[in-house]
């Protein structure tokens, strides 16, 4: 497939690109500027998500778009507008964990102990999910990582959930960038979560 990755130069985006290439997909990487050490088999296009026309032009002709950006720095409504205009049939969004529930009706972000310094990113991430849930045109999937999300091993062993925060046997809620990328590419290749959110964790 032709997979466009918006935010391909970021920590998660790089792993998604690597996973897609390992599965022999064609990757179109979209960022404001291309890095100097990009794999030779990646096609780079420059686009600013604040400009829906530029976003649409960069995405047109691809089978899937993946959005992997910081929500606090992104006008999500304008980004969605660009995706709609492109005609790309499917959108996968690298989401946040704060909108997951720790108990029925109790969202992580709303708990008194939730760190204030994370809220500037977590709050717009939840708003983006709410925006997608009211979306009538796009076939979207929002993928929330576990609470601890960072570089690690590509194990291929993890669990999927729906709206509840996943906690491993060690009591931690965590997933590596590498295993998250596997789950995302699995969803691209075999769609199971159309127009909904799911989460991945150990």
Structure confidence at residue 46 (pLDDT): 87
Query: φ and ψ at 71, to 5 degrees?
Result: -65, -30
**C-beta atoms surrounding 136 within 10 Å:** 5
pLDDT band for position 179 (cuts 50, 70, 90) = very high
For residues 133-152, give the mean pLDDT: 96
For residues 96-104, give the mean pLDDT: 96
Distances (CA, A) of 192 to 66, 174, 183, 185, 186: 16, 22, 11, 12, 9
DSSP state of 8: T
For residues 111-116, give the mean pLDDT: 94
pLDDT band for position 117 (cuts 50, 70, 90) = very high
> Bridge-partner residues for 142, per DSSP?
93, 197
pLDDT in tens, 2-51: 999 999 989 999 999 999 999 999 999 998 776 666 677 899 998 999 99
Q: Both tokens of residue 123?
A: 């709050």
Whether the predicted pLDDT of 107 surpasses 80: yes
Contact between residue 78 and residue 19 where contact means Cβ atoms under 8 Å apart? no
Query: φ and ψ at 12, to 5 degrees?
Result: -75, -40
Average model confidence (pLDDT) across the chain: 95
Burial of 41 (0-12, 13-18, 19+ CB in 10 A): exposed
For residues 82-109, give the mean pLDDT: 96
State the CATH number of the domain containing residue 45: 3.40.50.720
Look at the chain and report how many structural domains it folds into.
1
Write out the residue range of the structural domain in which residue 39 sits.
Answer: 2-201
Distances (CA, A) of 85 to 8, 29, 116, 176: 21, 18, 36, 33
The reported pTM is: 0.95
């Amino acid at each position: 497939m032709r997979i466009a990755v918006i935010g391909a130069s970021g920590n998660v985006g790089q792993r998604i690109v690597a996973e897609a290439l390992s599965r022999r997909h064609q990757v179109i990487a979209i960022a404001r500027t291309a890095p100097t050490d990009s794999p030779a088999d990646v096609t780079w296009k420059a686009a600013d998500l604040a400009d829906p026309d530029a976003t649409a032009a960069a995405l047109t002709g691809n089978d899937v778009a993946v959005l992997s950006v910081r929500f606090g720095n992104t006008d999500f409504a304008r980004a969605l507008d660009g995706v709609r205009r492109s005609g790309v049939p499917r959108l996968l969004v690298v989401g946040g964990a704060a909108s997951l529930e720790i108990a029925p009706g109790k969202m992580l972000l709303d708990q008194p102990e939730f760190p204030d310094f994370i809220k500037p990113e977590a709050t717009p991430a939840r708003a983006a999910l709410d925006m997608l849930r009211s979306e009538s045109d796009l076939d979207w999937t929002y993928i929330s990582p576990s609470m601890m999300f960072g570089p690690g091993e590509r194990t291929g062993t993890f669990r999927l959930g729906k709206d509840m925060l996943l906690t491993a046997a060690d009591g931690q809620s965590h997933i590596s960038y590498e295993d998250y990328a596997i789950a995302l590419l699995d969803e691209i290749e075999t769609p199971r979560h159309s127009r909904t959110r799911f989460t991945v964790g150990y």
